[in-house]
């Protein structure tokens, strides 16, 4: 039932090449060490979603030292979780990780579930992370397809410079066809291919001369043809985006405890300039409102002429300055 998945390379030879290369060249990453808890592995995988290893390593150590178990993290104040997340990026991941910890505590007896299906149900755990935790924390056989594995298999097996933008069924079937049948071996294969993608078969300047698959790689044999989707592959903009504005506002909120004046945050969101001078003057307010909507900030409406003492109410839902608390000045802080 998997017609397109018949191996093009010799399975045993390919496995052996990658496994022995991994044995000789693997990095000594802390979450790969024996006796690393399943929770610690899960935390590493969430942090590694779109954040490079070099930046995750110190953050992971500090995080696990502070919150060694799901119950520890689930009990932590949101503001402290967001501060500990610091600049890893995509702070919504930190919120989901804490939700994930609470679900594990409340519905799984405090233990990280073992099956991909159960893992997939947890907040912030998608197809990749569920497979990675099942494989790396529990030694299970799982198809682990991250950006590294996709690139290595795409090159070696399909002769593609880079994997297509969307992960298709054919690609998944092909990866499954190459997964070693033995569970322990499949785990080493998964981490080995991933490591190969990170260290040798890199996106930018692959070092094919150092690759254990150089003798059989379809892409290398074809003369390393260019990426056919290069034109359609558009990188996300950064400068001048709402994401940049959100990031700047979050940095200010993390830097100091307590309530922040709206004007200060809007100015921060504008990069220190007058928000009115921006191409899109509404951007800082939109960014701030979206942070509140995402649960990354909370707003409170103070009476302007009551010495800031009288609290008119707080909300995790209202947008920046968009409701009718007349005479009330909105202030914000971390949740």
Scanning 195-203, 258-266, 267-275, 303-311 for contacts with DNA by CB under 7 A, the matching segment is 195-203
Q: Determine which residue in the list 37, 114, 216, 244 makes contact with DNA, applying CB under 7 A.
A: 244
* Candidate residues 31, 138, 219, 301; the one interacting with DNA per rule CB under 7 A: 31
**Interacting span for DNA (CB under 7 A) from 4-12, 101-109, 117-125, 259-267:** 117-125
CA distance 181 to 59: 35
Query: Which CB sits closer to DNA, 255 or 306?
Result: 255
Q: Per CB under 7 A, which region of 9-17, 47-55, 171-179, 323-331 contacts DNA?
A: 47-55
Phi, psi of 203 (to 5 degrees): -70, -45
| Pairwise CA distance, residues 137 & 42, whole Å | 8
Residue 126 or 313: the one with the smaller Cβ distance to DNA is 126
Exposure string over 4-36, b if 16+ CB within 10 A, otherwise e: eeeeebeeeebbebbbebbeeeeeebebeeeeb
Query: Which H or E run includes 331?
Result: strand 328-333
Instruction: For residue 193, give the nearest of 50, 37, 17 by alpha carbon.
Output: 17
- 333 closest CA partner among 316, 310, 311: 316
Say whether 322 is catalytic: no
Rg of the chain over all Cα atoms, to the nearest angstrom: 24
Nearer to DNA among residue 157 and residue 253 (C-beta): 253
Q: What is the nearest approach in angstroms of DNA to the Cβ of residue 10? A: 26
d(CA 217, CA 226): 15
Query: Does the footprint of DNA cover residue 290 (CB under 7 A)?
Result: yes
Give the binding site for DNA (CB under 7 A): 29, 31-32, 44-45, 48-55, 87-92, 96, 123-130, 132, 146-148, 151, 165-166, 191, 194-195, 197-198, 202-205, 233, 235-236, 238, 241-244, 246-248, 250-251, 290
The catalytic residue positions are 45
């Amino acid at each position: 039932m998997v017609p397109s998945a018949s191996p093009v390379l010799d399975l045993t030879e390919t496995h052996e090449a990658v496994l022995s290369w991994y044995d000789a060249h693997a990095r000594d990453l802390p979450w790969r060490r024996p006796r690393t808890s399943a929770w610690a592995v899960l935390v590493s995988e969430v942090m590694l979603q779109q954040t490079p290893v070099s930046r995750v390593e110190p953050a992971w150590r500090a995080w696990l030292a502070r919150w060694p178990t799901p119950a520890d993290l689930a009990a932590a104040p949101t503001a402290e979780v967001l501060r500990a997340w610091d600049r890893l990026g995509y702070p919504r991941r930190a919120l989901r990780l804490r939700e994930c910890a609470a679900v594990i505590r409340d519905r799984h007896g405090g233990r990280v579930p073992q099956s991909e299906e159960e893992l997939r149900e947890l907040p912030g755990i998608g197809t990749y992370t569920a497979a990675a935790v099942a494989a790396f924390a529990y030694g299970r056989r799982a198809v682990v397809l991250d950006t590294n594995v996709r690139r290595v298999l795409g090159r070696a097996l399909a002769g593609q410079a880079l994997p297509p933008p969307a992960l298709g069924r054919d690609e998944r079937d092909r990866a499954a066809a190459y997964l070693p049948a033995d569970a322990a071996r499949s785990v080493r294969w998964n981490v080995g291919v991933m490591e190969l993608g990170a260290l040798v078969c890199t996106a930018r300047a692959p070092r094919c001369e150092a690759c254990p698959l150089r003798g059989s790689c379809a892409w290398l044999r074809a003369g390393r043809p260019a990426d056919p989707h290069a034109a359609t592959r558009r990188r996300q903009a950064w400068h001048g985006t709402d994401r940049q504005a959100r990031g700047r506002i979050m940095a200010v909120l993390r830097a100091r405890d307590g309530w922040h004046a709206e004007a200060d945050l809007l100015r921060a969101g504008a990069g220190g300039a007058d928000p009115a001078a921006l191409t899109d003057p509404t951007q800082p307010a939109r960014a701030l409102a979206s942070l509140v909507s995402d649960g990354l900030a909370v707003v409170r409406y103070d009476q302007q002429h009551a010495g800031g003492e009288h609290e008119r109410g707080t909300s995790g839902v209202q947008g920046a300055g968009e409701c009718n608390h007349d005479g009330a000045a909105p202030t914000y802080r971390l949740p």
